[in-house]
Chain A
Amino acid sequence: DAGVIQSPRHEVTEMGQEVTLRCKPISGHNSLFWYRQTMMRGLELLIYFNNNVPIDDSGMPEDRFSAKMPNASFSTLKIQPSEPRDSAVYFCASTPGPARRAKNIQYFGAGTRLSVL
């Protein structure tokens, strides 16, 4: 199993530009999560999907952030327009469905380090 795959690994962009982060969950996993990690705020849940449907987006900081999951094997997190305060590491995680014993274990990708100049 390849694990959760995130791309790009690093992203450097200028303020005002659109940024798209990508995530491929583990095959067969039903839930997908996006987290943001900063020094000041630590790890925060932004949004999660269950069976491709957004369940809770209360952690999304503002309207500049949007996330989609068009199918079970792909999700995107988009920031438009980006700002320097969006600089952080963004993690994607997935978890198996309710029938699996490991249903409450979240498996993380390697993260995308975003720098907005």
Chain B
Amino acid sequence: AQTVTQSQPEMSVQEAETVTLSCTYDTSESNYYLFWYKQPPSRQMILVIRQEAYKQQNATENRFSVNFQKAAKSFSLKISDSQLGDTAMYFCAFKEVYSGGGADGLTFGKGTHLIIQP
């Protein structure tokens, strides 16, 4: 079974700073997907960014980018020019590649509570 580990329960940075959230995972699969989801106080789970394991290029979405190190099984999220609205829980998640016979669920880490200070 896959496991996802987020070693930082809480982080706090000043507005406009850059922050990196860590995530490691364990799997025997060679192809899979990795995700970062954001959960603000509203409780809604919002997809931030997605990475496909067979792609070597790191995914980017505006101020959000990842550092995907497949050999090290590491998938960190970098938030540049952090904003007050980035304050939220951030969850790293793993999913096997869709096989066509069924779609597996996500395996989540325990989350990192990110606080952006004004």
Cross-chain contact of A42 among B42, B43, B46, B109 (Cβ < 8 A): B109
For residue A26, give the distance in angstroms from its CB to the closest CB of chain B.
13
Is the contact region of chain B dominated by helix, strand, or loop, or is it mixed? Answer: loop
How many residues on chain B are close to A (CB under 8 Å)?
25
Taking a contact as CB atoms closer than 8 A, the residue among B44, B45, B103 that contacts A48 in the complex is: B103
Q: Indicate whether A89 reaches chain B with its CB closer than 8 angstroms.
A: yes
- Measured between beta carbons, the chain B residues less than 8 angstroms from A113 are 43
Given the complex of chains A and B, what is the CA–CA distance between A5 and B88 in angstroms? 22
- Closest A residue to B52 by CB, please name it: A104
Answer yes or no: A64 CB below 8 A from chain B CBs.
Answer: no
Q: Is the CB of A110 within 8 A of B42?
A: yes
Tell me if A's interface is mostly helix, strand, loop or mixed.
strand
Q: In the complex, which residues 26-52 of chain A have their Cβ closer than 8 Å to any Cβ of chain B?
A: 30-31, 33, 35, 42-45, 48, 50
In the assembled complex, the Cα of A104 lies from the Cα of B94 at a distance in Å of: 11
Q: Are the C-beta atoms of B100 and A42 separated by less than 8 Å?
A: no
| Contact among A33, A89, A103 with B43 in the assembled complex (CB-CB below 8 Å) | A89
- Decide if B45 touches A91 in the complex (CB within 8 Å): yes
A-B contact pairs, 12 of them (CB 8 A): A31-B103, A42-B108, A42-B110, A45-B106, A45-B107, A48-B104, A50-B102, A103-B98, A104-B98, A107-B47, A111-B43, A113-B43
Binding site for A on B (CB under 8 A): 33, 35, 37, 42-47, 50, 91, 95, 97-98, 100, 102-111
Known: A30-B103, A56-B102, A98-B98. 19 other contacts (CB 8 A): A42-B111, A43-B106, A45-B105, A48-B103, A48-B104, A50-B102, A55-B102, A59-B105, A95-B103, A98-B100, A104-B95, A105-B47, A106-B47, A106-B105, A106-B106, A108-B37, A108-B44, A108-B46, A111-B45
